[in-house]
Amino acid sequence: MVNPLLEGLKGKRCLVTGAAGMIGRQVIRLLREAGVDVEPTDARSVAGQTILLADLSHFEVCQHVTKNRDFVFHIAGKKGSAKDTHEHASRYLVPMLQMDANMLRACAENGVPRLVYTSSIGAYAASQQPFKEDVDRDFPPMDPICWAKRMGELQIAMAYKERGLNWGCVRLAATYGPHDTFSEGAMLMPSLMFKIKRGDNPVGMGSPYPIRDFLYAGDAAEGIIRAAVKGTNGDFVNLGSGTACTVSELVDTIGKVIPFTYTFDTESPAIYQSRVMDINRAKEWLEWEPKVSLEEGLRRTWEWYLQEESC
């Protein structure tokens, strides 16, 4: 049965940026299962996928790909570990600012009626916990993800105020799933799976104490679609599990799916001690909440990773 929310998208011309990425693929899957006309676009090609190649750092390109679109799902971005984004901030800040500014400006000038912009939990300052939309307005020092994503959020707010465009904007928790980037320098979860797959014995870990909020990509995709359809009134909405999970608890849960040995470095510093989202606004505004448990999401991700690696 097709989700009633998606019935209203039939016959609409939808553009999905970041189509080759983990979340973009899930959004495209849900839309196509509902019979929606989707144009995937990305800066890179992917085997087995028909993708409109587009460099969104150029305004003229953004004008072209967004013309006559009914819905734009702007999911494209640059993803990296906290360590890498802090040590190489300019690799993230400048391209993200260029791409987001051009895409959102082009959508506004082309009068795209429905759009969703994917921001990040990284847009929050490391202060009050759990993160709640209406209390945190301060910037942490020199965090490129925070600065870039908040600039995108500001464009969403201006489009609402100045043009009456009720676009959607979501801040995503630490999202994981099939088609993630699995490497030693990746985010916490795919990096850990990479080391397990590589055969590290034991797997060396940092501190077991930092607290995180993990969201399965399929759940994120449904929330993104809901935000595009419903809009977020010029503001943003958190999409996360709403549940605190320590690194130690994450490792224990992965151990239920993949038996492995590990060691913690309890003296290892963490850039962020705690990052958890309040998701009550998503429940109220979008009628959304996550469905896939952490253990089930990890199982699906690991099974896909093994299958992908064997191809």
For the stretch 162-171, pLDDT in tens is 999 999 999 9
What mean pLDDT comes out for the span 134-157? 75
* 119 three-state secondary structure: strand
Q: What's the chain's length in residues?
A: 311
Mean per-residue pLDDT over the chain, rounded: 89
- How open is the CA angle 167-170-175, to the nearest 5 degrees? 145
Q: How many CB atoms lie within 10 A of CB 261?
A: 10
Q: How far apart are CA 145 and CA 210, in angstroms?
A: 19
What mean pLDDT comes out for the span 38-64? 87
User: What CA–CA distances, in Å, run from 35 to 40, 42, 154, 172, 182?
Assistant: 15, 21, 33, 26, 31
Q: What is the pLDDT of residue 94?
A: 84
CB contact set of 246 (below 8 Å; sequence gap of 6+) = 208, 209, 210, 211, 212
Q: How far apart are CA 301 and CA 254, in angstroms?
A: 11
Q: What is the pLDDT of residue 117?
A: 97
Query: Does pLDDT of 311 surpass 70?
Result: no
Please give the residue that has the higher pLDDT: either 268 or 169: 169
Confidence of residue 126 (pLDDT cuts 50, 70, 90): low
Burial label for 138, CB within 10 Å (0-12, 13-18, 19+), is: exposed
Query: Does pLDDT of 95 surpass 80?
Result: yes
pTM value > 0.85: yes
What mean pLDDT comes out for the span 143-155? 86
Q: Kindly report whether the peptide bond that precedes residue 141 is cis, defined as omega within 30 degrees of 0.
A: no
Q: For helices 247-257 and 188-198, what crossing angle results, to 10°?
A: 40
User: What CA–CA distances, in Å, run from 128 to 42, 209, 277?
Assistant: 36, 18, 10
Q: How far apart are CA 204 and CA 222, in angstroms?
A: 34
What mean pLDDT comes out for the span 123-142? 62
**Whether the Cβ atoms of residue 203 and residue 242 lie closer than 8 Å to each other:** no
Confidence of residue 252 (pLDDT cuts 50, 70, 90): very high
Q: What is the pLDDT of residue 267?
A: 85
- Closest by alpha carbon to 260, among 219, 188, 202? 202
CB contact set of 29 (below 8 Å; sequence gap of 6+) = 221
Which of 89-93, 185-189, 264-268 is the least confident region? 89-93
Please give the residue that has the higher pLDDT: either 273 or 48: 273
Strand spans (E) along the chain: 13-17, 37-42, 52-53, 71-74, 114-120, 168-172, 174-176, 203-205, 211-212, 214-216, 237-239, 245-246, 262-264
What mean pLDDT comes out for the span 265-275? 82
**Whether the Cβ atoms of residue 262 and residue 202 lie closer than 8 Å to each other:** yes
